[in-house]
Amino acid sequence: MATASREMREEKRLSQGDIEKRTGFCFAVYISRVEHNHSVPNMENLEKMARALEVPLYQLFYDGGRAAQTADTCQAQGV
């Protein structure tokens, strides 16, 4: 999710500050923490981020055209 959201933001030439303004988050550092997997956003914040990026929510969970790996798929693959 982190990689997908950062790539979408960069493709749209938006800064973390731009996303902060569009979402109403208090700190741009929150966007950075999410993009670097240091924070896990709740569903409400994910919806705000998707709206700010002007993409459907599910696209935040895709990485390079394929679904992002979950703990279950990593475990099944022995990763």
Could you give the CA distance from residue 7 to residue 75 in angstroms, rounded to a whole number? 26
Q: Give the count of alpha carbons within 13 A of 79, CB side only.
A: 8
The pLDDT value recorded for residue 21 is 92
The pLDDT value recorded for residue 76 is 56
The pLDDT value recorded for residue 45 is 93
| Rg of the chain (C-alpha set) | 13
pLDDT at 79 over 70: no
The whole-model pTM stands at 0.72
Q: What pLDDT, in 10s, does the model give residues 25-78?
A: 888 789 999 999 999 999 999 999 999 999 999 998 876 655 555 445 445 555
The pLDDT value recorded for residue 1 is 73
The pLDDT value recorded for residue 8 is 92
